[in-house]
Structure 1
Amino acid sequence: MTELTETGIAGLDEILNGGLVSNSTTLVSGNPGAGKSILGLQYIYNGVERFDEDGLFLSFEENERDLREAAESIGFDNWQDHVEAGNIEIYDKQVLLRENDFSSSLELLLGDLNDDRYERLVLDSLAMFQLFFDSEREKRTYLLKFTDILAENDLTTLMTNEQGAVFPDTDVGLENFLTDGNIFLLQTPTDSGVNRYAWVAKMRKQDIDTDIFPMEIRKGEGIRIHENASAFSMMNDEESPL
């Protein structure tokens, strides 16, 4: 039987039939503001709060203070306590981008990547990660190397990536084929704001529901994915924090 890692995100584990495949790497794609970083924060936070699983958060875009403020704005009130206790270890952009090449940053990370204490990892985002490399071939080589290291050390990983197109099948990059799973977060504009959706397009070694489901971001909870549109339409009037 395939071992699974529950995300703790309402609706997502049901779509995944129990959770992410353990020791896998899943790509979370979407255009700006779709909720990718929030999903990553929530995945790490739920791991500590609900499943006694410590996590690593690698941010090439935000500093540690920005991450704390983002987590607390959603209602993850114990985020900083977990960071100070070492249950959540953060490598922010000030640390990761200090070196001129990814090999140097990887050397910096290896100690924690090899630490059996950590079971979850988020990399946010591949758009900044790829700035280390001069060619698509070099990016692919290092991405393969990095995902192999993560799997060897039993880390269940989410990587976020900017999706330029509204419809993902028109803008599929090489990284979609190098990861074990693909989750797309979609948003469409409306007169009153945006409608949000989640689509799990692929998950190796696992039967998944590949429908597109309505999604919302709620203060105090984070991301919630609805089983059907009628449930989505009955959500309360509390404003999204985004």
Structure 2
Amino acid sequence: MIEITKTGIEGLDSILNGGIVTDSTTLVSGNPGAGKSILCLQYIYNGVDQFDEKGIYLSFEENEADLREAAESIGFDKWPEFVENGDIKVYDKQVLLRENDFSSSLDLLLDDLEDEEYDRLVLDSLAMFNLFFDDEAEKRTYLLKFTDILRSNGLTTLMTNEQGAVFPDTEIGLENYLTDGNIYLIQTPTDSGVSRYVWVAKMRKQDIETDIFPMEIEWGGIQVHENASAFSMMSEEDSPL
């Protein structure tokens, strides 16, 4: 029986057939402004608020005050309370980038990563994480090591990845193949603003809905609409995964 971790995001858990596989690592990719960080904040917040599951948030791009403001601005009002009482543990860029190598930064995290209190983890983002490494081989080695540590300590993880292209089939990196799941957030311009979509391209051990679904970012976070989009942005045979 596969154990599932619910994201608590309306519509997303349905197309994931219940949620994310527990102890897995899922890559959340999209171009700037697509909603990656909001999805991750919501995942950690819902874990505490709805499921009594504590979370760790690693941000290589924001400081703790910025994260708090972002959470409160979308309606996650209890974020400061959860951080203060230890239900959410935040490591921000001032802490994570203090050391010059990943091994030193990892040493700072190990006590919490090995603490059975925590169930969820976010790494935001891999673009900044990559600055620790000089070449692709070193990056791959440490990413595998890190995901193994997370899995062995029972953490169900989301990692964000910046994508320059609008359409995900035009830009596939090594990270997509090293993770258990791949979720793409897509935004396309319209006359009145942007239209947003979510595509779950892969989730190992899960029978998922692989169509592209419309989504909105509103007060309370992301909402995914379970009616599939009226058009297909890519055919199944073009799918990169």
**Structure-2-length-normalised TM-score:** 0.94
**Alpha-carbon separation, structure 2, partners of 1:203 and 1:228:** 20
Aligned residues: 230
SS of the aligned residue for 2:151 comes to helix
Q: Is the 8 A contact 2:214 2:229 kept in 1?
A: no
SS of the aligned residue for 2:89 comes to strand
Q: Which residue in 2 is equivalent to 1:151?
A: 151
Q: Is the 8 A contact 2:16 2:209 kept in 1?
A: yes
What code does the residue aligned with 1:13 have?
A: D
Q: Which residue in 2 is equivalent to 1:234?
A: none
Shift of 1:230: 8.2
Q: Deviations over 1:137-179 (max 9, x none)?
A: 1000000000000000000000000011111111000000000
Q: Which residue in 1 is equivalent to 2:22?
A: 22
**Alpha-carbon separation, structure 1, partners of 2:174 and 2:168:** 13
SS of the aligned residue for 1:70 comes to helix
Structure 1 unmatched runs, 5+: 232-242
Structure 2 unmatched runs, 5+: 231-241
SS of the aligned residue for 2:116 comes to coil
SS of the aligned residue for 1:18 comes to coil
SS of the aligned residue for 2:131 comes to helix
Q: Deviations over 1:74-111 (max 9, x none)?
A: 00000000000000000000000000000000000000
Q: Is the 8 A contact 2:27 2:160 kept in 1?
A: yes
**Alpha-carbon separation, structure 2, partners of 1:21 and 1:228:** 23
Match runs of 1:78-227 below 5 Å: 78-219=78-219, 221-227=220-226
SS of the aligned residue for 2:197 comes to strand
**Alpha-carbon separation, structure 1, partners of 2:181 and 2:46:** 20
Q: Deviations over 1:199-223 (max 9, x none)?
A: 000000110000000000011x100
SS of the aligned residue for 1:217 comes to strand
What code does the residue aligned with 2:6 have?
A: E
Shift of 1:71: 0.2
Q: Deviations over 1:36-90 (max 9, x none)?
A: 0000000000000000000000000000000000000000000000000000000
* 1:228 maps onto 2:235 in alignment: no
Residue 187 to residue 230, structure 1, CA distance change in 2 (3 Å): closer
Shift of 1:191: 1.3
**Structure-1-length-normalised TM-score:** 0.94
What code does the residue aligned with 1:53 have?
A: E
Cα RMSD after superposing both structures: 1.0
Q: Deviations over 1:11-34 (max 9, x none)?
A: 010000000000000000000000
SS of the aligned residue for 2:196 comes to strand
SS of the aligned residue for 2:115 comes to coil
**Alpha-carbon separation, structure 2, partners of 1:71 and 1:77:** 7
* 1:74 maps onto 2:74 in alignment: yes
Q: Is the 8 A contact 2:47 2:54 kept in 1?
A: yes
**Alpha-carbon separation, structure 1, partners of 2:106 and 2:229:** 46
**Alpha-carbon separation, structure 2, partners of 1:164 and 1:212:** 19
